[in-house]
Amino acid sequence: MSIMTYRQALRDTLGSEMRRDENVLLLGEEIGVFEGSYKITAGLLAEFGEKRVRDTPIAEEGFTGAAIGAAMLGLRPVVEIMTINFSLLALDQIVNHAAKIYGMFGGQARVPLVIRTPGGGGQQLGATHSQNIELYYAFVPGMKVVAPSNPADAKSLLLAAIRDDDPVLFLENLALYNMKGEVPDDDIPGEIGRAAVTRRGSDITVVAYSRMAAVALTVAERMAETDGVDIEVVDLRSLRPLDRETVVDSVRRTHCAVVVEDDWLTYGIGAEIAATISDGAFDWLDAPVRRVAMAEVPLPYAKTLETAALPSADDVTAAIRQTLASVGRRAGKDTP
């Protein structure tokens, strides 16, 4: 095991996969000479050259389309879109081409493409640069969407994404880049479509992904000390395919659930999880599923307003306490 940041785990994995397979190449805006807006590709141009680390014009539709064509011809492109917000400019290429080519061509062509892109708020980047719109892609059959919440998963799921024969949207939250954690030294890929129970518990299940999975784990550890509550945390890791079984099994054990997400509540990922729990664990529930999400507004620029709009650890704590209180389980002195 090595201790490293989320950013370093991504950078090292890209480098190791490029050394392992000469068909892996990188495309994106400012990923070469500038080494990427978030320095994920630092040092890779110097090692692999312009043929395999290609700076592109500011034309997301164009370079994403080029990557799809390259993938169909046997290469394994890893595209960096500077922010998931800019992926909207490539929506036609991603949704109408990358996701559908395998099915429309009867399996005669594959698209082993990875699209890495950061999202999320909290950085004062304004409403058009701070969105969590991974739902757009998780909605589409033919796409795979992963959202690692820690450095170890960032490595293992990026390995899996690069080696996968289908298009994968690899979601990175800006707030996670400096997170440190243990990362295995081996290059064993993770399993796309498999959630992780990051903390075992018996009182209530909290389901989350990406940044909020890390927040949920922090809340669970804190509430174990302050409130004596034993919280189970399920980190989805993969949004498509979705590991419904792990979620349902957890709720059947704990009988209560809170679903936490960074995007908007209406039509969000949490709605799908709540429906999954209703379908698979309704008879085991002691209380309605509670959801914690971002305020239904374009994210403000002003720091105080931005902070107020984003879901927080306090919001998660309140939802847990309210759920437990509704079934007569006391959770700390501040329980309503």
Angle between helices 211-226 and 313-326 (to 10 degrees): 60
Angle at alpha carbon of residue 310, lines to 135 and 121, rounded to 5° = 65
pLDDT digits (tens, 9 = 90+) for 64-98: 999 999 999 999 999 999 999 999 999 999 999 99
Burial of 283 (0-12, 13-18, 19+ CB in 10 A): exposed
Instruction: pLDDT band for 334, please (50, 70, 90 cuts).
Output: very low
Q: Any alpha helices (H) in 120-210, and if so which ranges?
A: 135-138, 151-163
Q: What pLDDT score does 335 carry? A: 39
Task: Report the Cα 145 to chain-centroid distance in Å.
Answer: 7
Q: What residue segments make up the domains of the chain, in order of their start?
A: 2-183, 196-326
Pairing of strands 114-119, 76-80: parallel
Return the percentage of the chain with pLDDT > 90, whole number: 97
pTM: 0.94
Instruction: pLDDT band for 108, please (50, 70, 90 cuts).
Output: very high
- Which CATH number applies to 2-183: 1.10.150.120, 3.90.25.10, 3.40.50.970, 3.40.50.150? 3.40.50.970
pLDDT greater than 50 at residue 6: yes
Instruction: pLDDT band for 331, please (50, 70, 90 cuts).
Output: low
Contacts of 128 (CB under 8 A, 6+ apart): 85, 298
Q: Radius of gyration (Cα) for the chain, nearest Å?
A: 20
Which sequence positions are flagged as catalytic? 60, 129
Instruction: pLDDT band for 130, please (50, 70, 90 cuts).
Output: very high
pLDDT greater than 60 at residue 215: yes
Q: Residue 154 has which token pair?
A: 């960032």
Integer angstrom CA distances of residue 293 from 95, 147, 195, 276: 26, 17, 20, 17
pLDDT digits (tens, 9 = 90+) for 233-272: 999 999 999 999 999 999 999 999 999 999 999 999 999 9
- Which CATH number applies to 196-326: 3.10.129.10, 3.30.70.20, 3.40.50.920, 1.10.3720.10? 3.40.50.920
Return the percentage of the chain with pLDDT > 70, whole number: 98
pLDDT greater than 90 at residue 330: no
pLDDT digits (tens, 9 = 90+) for 216-238: 999 999 999 999 999 999 999 99
Instruction: pLDDT band for 333, please (50, 70, 90 cuts).
Output: very low
SS3 234: strand
pLDDT greater than 70 at residue 336: no
